[in-house]
Structure 1
Amino acid sequence: MNQTLLSVKNLKTHFPMKKNLFDKGTQVIKAVDGISFSVSKGETLGIVGESGCGKSTMGRSILRLIEPTEGSVKFQGNEVTTLNQTDLRKMRSDMQIVFQDPFASLNPKMTVGAILGEALSTHQIGQSANERKEKVKELLKKVGLSPIHIGRYPHEFSGGQRQRIGIARAIAVNPALIIADEPVSALDVSVQAQILNLFQDLKETFGLTYIFIAHDLSVVKHVSDRIGVMYLGKIVELSDKKLLFQHPLHPYTQALMSAVPSLDPDVKKERIILSGDVPSPSNPPNGCAFHTRCKFRKAVCESVIPREIQVSEGRFVRCHMYDEEYSKEFK
């Protein structure tokens, strides 16, 4: 059996927000609203969904860069949500993040050598400054950059090179898990492929485990073993990659899949156009959050929140169509 590295149960991250300047009442933005999944050692779990569905908030909540409101996050058997700051800092050497915008996440006043060296010194890697400098040069080589770049500043690099520096910073402390938060969405398509290949190479070299967040299904397909589909703060479908692309279950997943272009001219796909916009997380619909845009909706969808249904081994979906209690209404 595969060893579970990370286990997330009923994770919620809610943000209170004042309705307006004169109203003392508050609304709650349910950015992450009851997410559960596990990640095995050496696996890549892809998380995909539209912008604003809570993917990035989920990633940051797991690392406690944003404090979760409720739920459990267990990493290597330890409960992350109750760690004090000292233990949390120690844990972060095992859990790292690569951000979407490499320019915003790198200090413009520090050289590449100082940025990577800071990560090493913070986690007490290397016995001396010279040893850390040699380690920085090795890191640059491993991400496809030259050691001569060690004295340059972030603005002297291209977007793809800056992202390589961000990846080098993440692997510098020998983590077990890396959360990649839309790491290629700000890059040119030609550069995206290079960075995705780098992620794959580093995974094999260091035995890494990834949570790979993206809004592009083709990107997630390239790197993932399993894929979770998010909609309005919830994972609505979780499946092995191959099964998900062969036979998507949830109507939202089906709509996303229909938008993926095929390179085979003989393959004809019906384009599913979703009506309306994504509802506001501060005022989600009753029942199933997707029912306002779903062509299969029934009365039950408007009033009852779908349960997570296990369809087969390792495959889950949140939809009344697959719930024995309600499935007959859809026939």
Structure 2
Amino acid sequence: MNKPLLIVENLKTHFPVKKSFFKQKKQFVKAVDGLNFYVNRGETLGIVGESGCGKSTMGRSILRLIEPTEGRITFKGEEITSLNERDLRKMRGEMQIVFQDPFASLNPKMTVGAILGEAIQTHQIGQGSRERAKKVQELLVNVGLSPSYIDRYPHEFSGGQRQRIGIARAIAVNPSLIIADEPVSALDVSVQAQILNLFQDLKESLGLTYIFIAHDLSVVKHVSDRIGVMYLGRIVELSNKKGLFQNPLHPYTQALMSAVPSLDPDVKKERIILTGDVPSPSNPPSGCTFHTRCPFKQSICEMVVPREINVAEGRYVSCHKYDDEFEESFV
């Protein structure tokens, strides 16, 4: 059996909170607090969750754009969390990111040709300026833009076109893995489908692997093979797409699914309304971090952190309800 392209083990990214005069104890924002998952070659792993759950921090931590506090990241069989800056720069050609805001991620003072050419030159792709200019034109065609746009600036494009340029920059260095961080959330609904289809086309033609981060379940369902549901820095459920949408297991996942409107008027869904607000990641609840909002909580949930339980082939859930050791508590 082929090894996964990416393996993430116990990934944590904590940010220190500036101490005030009255708070002498050092505090941390636990943006990512113990993630475990893998990504196979050629698949799309969707990551979904509410704003502030740590999705974007997770993506940047994997690429070491943000340095993880703890954990192990293995890419193509090589452990990258301890790589020095020079070796990491070489590895970055294999891992790229598409950012949420296509305007903020592009240098407004550079033309499209210069933006894409910079990526090509940095990773020493192509020989000479003529060959690199040809490569830039090919990239524009690959993402559905005219080669004549090469001398235009980012402000001359629409939001969807700018995101296509961001995607072109990501694929310019022939990566194996692309982390797409909410790539369509800043776009009009009419444009979102076009960009999602572009991601799918590039995946097939270039053999790409994606981690696709989003807060919209319909977007994740459209592009993903497997889906991880995040809550307060942790993945509470990880499943194939069909299993997650047909039979969500974790109470948080069930609440998310109940909020998705159905196109069939004959289908009646019971809406699960969660009480309270999402706790602060600087002071997360003890035990299961979801217990403050969970309609099924028991006393064990307040005291013990649930382990990741393999309930079926490739399907995991972190909930005491499915743990044989504590299942009597839920009878």
TM-score category, normalised to shorter length: over 0.9
In the alignment, the residues of structure 1 paired with residue 54 and residue 21 of structure 2 have an alpha-carbon distance, to the nearest angstrom, of: 26
TM-score (normalised: structure 1): 0.99
Residues 21-60 of structure 1 aligned to structure 2 (within 5 Å):
23-60=23-60
Equivalenced residue count is: 331
Residues 175-194 of structure 1 aligned to structure 2 (within 5 Å):
175-194=175-194
Range moving further from structure 2, 15-24 or 157-166: 15-24
1:61 aligns with 2:61: yes
Counterpart position of 2:216 = 216
Q: Flag the 1:131–1:218 CA change in 2: closer, same or farther, 3 A.
A: same
Contact map agreement 1:7 1:75 (CA 8 A) in 2? yes
Displacement of 1:76 in angstroms is: 0.1
Amino acid at match of 1:142: N
Counterpart position of 1:92 = 92
Structure 1 residues 66-91: Cα deviation after superposition (integer angstroms, max 9, x where no partner):
00000000000011100010110000
Displacement of 1:22 in angstroms is: 5.5
Counterpart position of 1:293 = 293
In the alignment, the residues of structure 1 paired with residue 160 and residue 18 of structure 2 have an alpha-carbon distance, to the nearest angstrom, of: 39
Structure 1 residues 217-236: Cα deviation after superposition (integer angstroms, max 9, x where no partner):
00000000000000000000
In the alignment, the residues of structure 1 paired with residue 125 and residue 41 of structure 2 have an alpha-carbon distance, to the nearest angstrom, of: 23
SS of residue matched to 2:235: strand
Counterpart position of 1:136 = 136
Displacement of 1:262 in angstroms is: 1.1
Q: Flag the 1:131–1:15 CA change in 2: closer, same or farther, 3 A.
A: same
In the alignment, the residues of structure 2 paired with residue 326 and residue 287 of structure 1 have an alpha-carbon distance, to the nearest angstrom, of: 13
Displacement of 1:18 in angstroms is: 2.0
Structure 1 residues 174-213: Cα deviation after superposition (integer angstroms, max 9, x where no partner):
0000000000000000100000000000000000000000
Residues 268-307 of structure 1 aligned to structure 2 (within 5 Å):
268-307=268-307
5+ long unaligned stretches in structure 2: none
Residues 305-316 of structure 1 aligned to structure 2 (within 5 Å):
305-316=305-316
Counterpart position of 1:262 = 262
Amino acid at match of 2:204: E
Displacement of 1:19 in angstroms is: 3.8
Counterpart position of 2:253 = 253
1:127 aligns with 2:127: yes
Contact map agreement 1:229 1:235 (CA 8 A) in 2? yes
In the alignment, the residues of structure 2 paired with residue 19 and residue 330 of structure 1 have an alpha-carbon distance, to the nearest angstrom, of: 41
Displacement of 1:23 in angstroms is: 3.9
Counterpart position of 1:198 = 198
Range moving further from structure 2, 13-22 or 286-295: 13-22
In the alignment, the residues of structure 2 paired with residue 251 and residue 23 of structure 1 have an alpha-carbon distance, to the nearest angstrom, of: 35
Contact map agreement 1:42 1:209 (CA 8 A) in 2? yes
In the alignment, the residues of structure 2 paired with residue 280 and residue 207 of structure 1 have an alpha-carbon distance, to the nearest angstrom, of: 39
SS of residue matched to 2:316: strand
TM-score (normalised: structure 2): 0.99
Contact map agreement 1:45 1:224 (CA 8 A) in 2? yes
In the alignment, the residues of structure 2 paired with residue 171 and residue 22 of structure 1 have an alpha-carbon distance, to the nearest angstrom, of: 49
Contact map agreement 1:18 1:25 (CA 8 A) in 2? no
Displacement of 1:261 in angstroms is: 1.1
In the alignment, the residues of structure 1 paired with residue 116 and residue 140 of structure 2 have an alpha-carbon distance, to the nearest angstrom, of: 9
In the alignment, the residues of structure 2 paired with residue 70 and residue 2 of structure 1 have an alpha-carbon distance, to the nearest angstrom, of: 27
In the alignment, the residues of structure 2 paired with residue 330 and residue 9 of structure 1 have an alpha-carbon distance, to the nearest angstrom, of: 30
1:166 aligns with 2:155: no
In the alignment, the residues of structure 1 paired with residue 60 and residue 69 of structure 2 have an alpha-carbon distance, to the nearest angstrom, of: 13
In the alignment, the residues of structure 2 paired with residue 303 and residue 23 of structure 1 have an alpha-carbon distance, to the nearest angstrom, of: 25
Amino acid at match of 1:257: M
SS of residue matched to 2:213: strand
In the alignment, the residues of structure 1 paired with residue 230 and residue 154 of structure 2 have an alpha-carbon distance, to the nearest angstrom, of: 33
Displacement of 1:21 in angstroms is: 5.2
In the alignment, the residues of structure 1 paired with residue 19 and residue 184 of structure 2 have an alpha-carbon distance, to the nearest angstrom, of: 35
Displacement of 1:116 in angstroms is: 0.1
Displacement of 1:266 in angstroms is: 1.3
Displacement of 1:20 in angstroms is: 2.4
Structure 1 residues 154-180: Cα deviation after superposition (integer angstroms, max 9, x where no partner):
000000000000000000000000000
In the alignment, the residues of structure 2 paired with residue 142 and residue 321 of structure 1 have an alpha-carbon distance, to the nearest angstrom, of: 48
In the alignment, the residues of structure 2 paired with residue 21 and residue 205 of structure 1 have an alpha-carbon distance, to the nearest angstrom, of: 57
In the alignment, the residues of structure 1 paired with residue 25 and residue 244 of structure 2 have an alpha-carbon distance, to the nearest angstrom, of: 42
Contact map agreement 1:18 1:24 (CA 8 A) in 2? no
In the alignment, the residues of structure 2 paired with residue 9 and residue 37 of structure 1 have an alpha-carbon distance, to the nearest angstrom, of: 7
In the alignment, the residues of structure 2 paired with residue 8 and residue 26 of structure 1 have an alpha-carbon distance, to the nearest angstrom, of: 27
In the alignment, the residues of structure 2 paired with residue 197 and residue 328 of structure 1 have an alpha-carbon distance, to the nearest angstrom, of: 47
